[in-house]
Amino acid sequence: MSKLVIVGTVAFDAIETPFGKTDKILGGAATYIGLSASNFNVDSAAVSIVGGDFPQDYLDLLENRNIDIEGIEIVKDGKTFFWSGKYHNDMNSRDTLVTELNVLEHFNPKVPESYQDADVVMLGNLHPAVQQGVLDQMTKKPKLAILDTMNFWMDIALDDLLSVIKNVDVITINDEEARQLSGEYSLVVAARKIHEMGPKYVVIKKGEHGALLFHNGNVFYAPALPLEEVFDPTGAGDTFAGGFAGYLAKTGDYSFENMKTAVIYGSTLASFCVEKFGTERMQNLTDKEIYKRLDQFKSLTQFDIELT
């Protein structure tokens, strides 16, 4: 069985959308990535940090989804990373109300020894120096290293980001971030420039408008499934990344053709994530539900046309 290392935040979120609001609930990039990847029966480990205020029930939830938590450091006298945000009516934009780094401020990731030879490494959204620190702990070069990042790191740690980007195979970012990183408005040109920075594959997420996969001049587009209701977009990008990484770890096929399928799986799982607040929908997702929605994706995108 392939090993997958997932690095990112395990955290508390408090979310407000036009549909309601929550108190502190389970969140964090590594949480969403892990729950999503757990649908593929891969040997995964989460590498993160939490405080003594983090409930054992949440750790048990991850373990019950076969996510190894040895790499989650618990600082007994510290507090867990906390983020609070409010979404606007269009659900595409949000305001950050509170960010408390707490124990994350001094996070020094420690990859468990048994996972230092992992085939796939999924570097969730963190300081790029931390992401590089994880790659440095691997005893052999991963078959696939995937990096997620955001515009915040482009603003304050661009040199570190460009350095770690050289060492990964895939980068996943949204359209706004791709434009900022490349300095180009056209996403096709932006992807080409980012490709020249190091990654063989560039995935550009466009939220409700789907995702694009670029590789050596080839482009693949996956739409987002039209949904009747979107309650909470938090974690959708991380859920996409978890589905993408989990499928590739399961199949061990890192070709462009197989990455197309990985993008579809990522989009499918992200479509579930937004249906309830936080991780609630992802906690009890079944294979039957996933396959039914994959079939919907197939129907959405498949057609016959006679070219004359």
∠73-272-301 over CA atoms, to 5°?
130
Question: For residues 50 and 74, is the Cβ–Cβ distance under 8 A?
Answer: yes
Q: Which amino acid is at 7?
A: V
**Between 99 and 302, where is the model more confident?**
99
Q: How far apart, in whole angstroms, are the C-alpha atoms of residue 147 and residue 242?
A: 11
Residue 135's pLDDT is 98
Question: For residues 113 and 139, is the Cβ–Cβ distance under 8 A?
Answer: no
Q: How confident is the model at residue 251 (pLDDT cuts 50, 70, 90)?
A: very high
Question: For residues 196 and 165, is the Cβ–Cβ distance under 8 A?
Answer: no
238 is catalytic: yes
Tell me the Cα Rg of the chain: 18
Residue 298's pLDDT is 87
- CA dist 109 to 38, 73, 120, 152, 297, Å? 21, 8, 17, 20, 37
pLDDT digits (tens, 9 = 90+) for 229-246: 889 999 999 999 999 999
pLDDT digits (tens, 9 = 90+) for 172-187: 999 999 999 999 999 9
Percent of the chain with pLDDT over 70: 100
Q: How confident is the model at residue 307 (pLDDT cuts 50, 70, 90)?
A: confident
Residue keyed to tokens 């399928």: 261
Does the structure show a pLDDT above 80 at 92? no
**Between 65 and 305, where is the model more confident?**
65
What letters, b where the CB count within 10 A reaches 16 and e where it falls short, cover 111-140?
bbeebeebbbbbbbbbbbebbbbbbebbee
Q: How confident is the model at residue 89 (pLDDT cuts 50, 70, 90)?
A: confident
Q: How far apart, in whole angstroms, are the C-alpha atoms of residue 278 and residue 118?
A: 28
Q: Which of 13, 148, 232, 238 is catalytic?
A: 238
